[in-house]
Amino acid sequence: MTLTLIMAVLLGVAMVLLALMATRGKRSLGISILSAGLVSLLASVMYLLLAAPDVAMTEAAIGSGLTTFLFFFVLGRVRRGEHD
């Protein structure tokens, strides 16, 4: 088993566990959003292992960065409305 195979298996297991925590955890909404962003970041590393550098850069910038920002903007507006 070479190093890349071990890394790929570890990444895969981490992604599945984080996805379970994001969708069905009893925790707060902020932790779910952060877990989804972390799944995107680990997927970007896996794209690099699959020899696709363009896709890795796009997923890291757009999938992991901008989507998490959009979620937190809307979460902030909703929370501020609840406390008023």
Partner 1 sequence: MALIAMVTGFILILIGLWGALSNRNILRMIVAFAVADTGVNLVLVSIGYMHGRTAPILNEAVPAAQAASRIIDPVPQALVLTAIVIGVGVTALMLAYAYKLYQTKGSLDIAKHTELKW
Partner 2 sequence: MIKRLTLILLLAGLGSIFASLTLNYVGDQDLNLTASYYAEHTAKDIGAANIVTAIIVTYRGLDTLGEVTVLFLTAAIVGLVLAQEKSTRELPQRKLPPAGELLITGTRLLLPLILLFGAYVFIHGHLTPGGGFQGGAIVASAILLLLLSHPLQRFSHGLIAVLESVSGVAFVVIGVLGILLAGGFLDNRILPIGTFGDLFSAGAIPIIYSLIGLKVGAEFSSMLVSLSETEEL
Separation of alpha carbons 8 and 43, rounded Å: 10
Separation of alpha carbons 70 and 36, rounded Å: 12
Q: Least distance from C-beta 68 to partner 2, angstroms?
A: 11
Q: Least distance from C-beta 43 to partner 1, angstroms?
A: 5
Instruction: Provide the mask over 20-39, with x wherever binding to partner 2 is found by CB under 8 A and - wherever it is not.
Output: --------------------
Tokens at residue 44, please? Answer: 């970007």
Q: For the chain, what is the HEC assignment?
A: CCHHHHHHHHHHHHHHHHHHHHHHCCCCHHHHHHHHHHHHHHHHHHHHHCCCHHHHHHHHHHHHHHHHHHHHHHHHHHHHHHHC
Q: Per CB under 8 A, which of residues 38..67 are in contact with partner 2?
A: 53-54, 56-58, 61-62, 65-66
Query: What number of chain residues touch partner 2 (CB under 8 A)?
Result: 17
66 touches partner 1 by CB under 8 A:
yes
| Site for partner 1, rule CB under 8 A | 4-5, 8-9, 11-12, 15-16, 19-20, 22-24, 29, 32-33, 36, 39-40, 43, 46-47, 49-55, 58-59, 62-63, 66-67, 70-71, 73-75, 77-78, 81
